[in-house]
Structure 1
Amino acid sequence: MNPPGYPQPDRPPVVRPLWSLAGPALGAMVAAGLLTAPIGPLGSAITRDLGLSTTAMTVTVVVPYVVATAALVVPGYLLGRRWPTATGVPALVLLLLGSVLSAFAPGAGLMGVGRVVDGLGAGIVVGVALALSSQLGRWCSRARLVLGLALGVALLLGPVVSGVIAQAASWRPAFLLGVPVAAVALIGTIASGIAMLVGRASRPSPPASPAMTTLLPGETQLGGPAR
């Protein structure tokens, strides 16, 4: 840290490799699909099998996920800018755990818990993906465009794919559909984090340059005669 009166050096912007976005972006797509999945046949199947009214299904399945996701997008973004791997890995674990809890919920209570856990992981991983898309240097604008399109497609496909599965089998496998995808995203996030850590450790340190300072009144150079 420079003393008062001396110019502070500018901190260079963080630039991450393009492939570091892959894992969190895949997790964000799962999160977007889970957001819209209860719309249509899946919601009707849950209402019928758990003996819920339409209002109770909305309060149990839709609202907890939406609230939890919205509450953690910004914290996920802020933390993901500095610690994308340490933030993204727990988020994807929560996404996996919430999906499993929702799929095997015997009643409305555990279903609500599963959707809250799902939403917590979803909000964080979406924030991490958005943060990484802004740290890719010259790829930023294109990465944001592709990420936005991918999330839009996931939102549209969520009710379609889950509805087909709910009609063909049951609503429970529909929640499990995103589990293997989220697992791949988790593995990718861990692998990219390790690769970035190794690359940072093997990067040679820049040579130290002599400090160029301007003497303040009354100061003398070290080792020089005082006048």
Structure 2
Amino acid sequence: MHVTPPPVTRPVAAPAWWQVSGPGFAALIGLFALTAIYRFDGGSEIQRAFDLSGQSLLLIGLVAYLVGAALTVPAGLVLGPRFPTAVAISALVALFLGVLLAAFANDGTLLLAGRAFAGLGTGAAAGTTVALITKLRERRGVVTGLTAALAVLALLLGPVVGRLISEALGFRLVQLATIPFLLAALVVNAVIGIAGLTSAKRPVPPVPNGPPYP
């Protein structure tokens, strides 16, 4: 008599530590972009270029970015562990669009849209990074500490690098300077995605003490 073998299900594997680097890279670029428009004294070349008040700069430069990030962090936390590459690439596309809008903006409205799009990308990447770290089974402490240190460094480097570039060449080049890093992050996430698919296709070992196949 033919006996149909029970379906073999692959348990959901915990992410490897190196898988965090994909969305983590995207999140670091977003954190740098968050503070790169400011100087440590609170001023900004964008404020001078668009003749913005302090409140307008706060709304356009910071609030719009943080609101966009807050909207997509939950999506990163929920979808990130299951589809880390897809979420990370989507985040990078949003960041890329936000950077271009901010770089070529000729009024506050386009600048606001650019900052909001960049915030959307940063939030999705950051949520995915946090979700993957919490599911790690090995090297979680090391990855957490390294990621936190790099995040703080990105936030601190933003005003320094942004001021140096903007005072010499204008604020638009600060935005455009992130594009090579965004392209590099796309490549990194694509490679990690391919590696993840390859490991997922490995044959499943037989279930111990399971019924024999006919």
Measured against the shorter chain, the TM-score band is 0.7 to 0.9
Matched, 1:78 2:82: no
Equivalent residues in 2 for 1:1-227, closer than 5 Å: 14-40=13-39, 43-201=43-201, 203-209=202-208
Whole-angstrom distance in 1 between the partners of 2:140 and 2:13 = 12
Q: Which has the larger radius of gyration?
A: 1
Distance in 2 (CA, whole Å) between partners of 1:114 and 1:43 is 19
> What is the deviation of 1:13?
5.8
Count residues with an aligned counterpart: 201
1:10-58 deviation line (CA, Å, top 9, x unaligned) = x956322222222211111111112222322895311121122222122
Q: What is the rounded CA distance, in whole Å, between the counterparts of 1:142 and 1:44 in structure 2?
A: 36
Is the partner of 1:105 in helix, strand or coil? Answer: coil
Residue 187 of structure 1: SS of its match in structure 2? helix
In the superposition, the TM-score normalised over structure 1's length comes to: 0.82
- Distance in 2 of aligned mates of 1:207 and 1:59: 58
Tell me if structure 2 keeps the 8 A contact 1:61–1:115.
yes
TM superposition shift of 1:211: 5.5
Q: Work out whether residues 166 and 173 of structure 2, in 8 Å CA contact, stay in contact via their aligned partners in 1.
A: yes
State the secondary structure of the residue aligned to 1:138.
coil
Residues 17, 138 of structure 2: 8 Å contact kept: no
Residue in structure 1 matched with residue 5 of structure 2 by the alignment: none
TM-score (norm 2): 0.86
Greater CA drift, 203-212 or 113-122: 203-212
**Amino acid of the structure 2 residue aligned with 1:129:** T
Query: Considering only aligned residues, what root-mean-square deviation do their CA atoms show, in Å?
Result: 2.0
AA at the equivalent of 1:134: T
Query: Which ranges of structure 2 fall in alignment gaps of 5 or more residues?
Result: 1-9
Tell me, in whole angstroms, the C-alpha distance in 2 between the residues paired with 1:211 and 1:44. Answer: 67
Identity over aligned pairs, percent: 35
Cα distance in 2 for partners of 1:178, 1:43 equals 21
- Distance change (3 Å), C-alpha of 1:184 and 1:43: farther
Question: What are the Cα deviations for residues 87-146 of structure 1, in whole angstroms up to 9, with x where unaligned?
Answer: 111111111111111111111111111111100001000111112222332111110110
Structure 1: tracts of 5 or more residues without a match: 1-10, 213-227
- For 1:47 and 1:74, locate their aligned partners in 2 and report how far apart those are by CA, in whole Å: 31
Do 1:42 and 1:162's aligned partners in 2 also have CA atoms closer than 8 Å?
A: no
CA distance in structure 2 between the partners assigned to 1:28 and 1:133 by the alignment: 13
In the aligned structure 2, how far is the partner of 1:50 from the partner of 1:197?
47
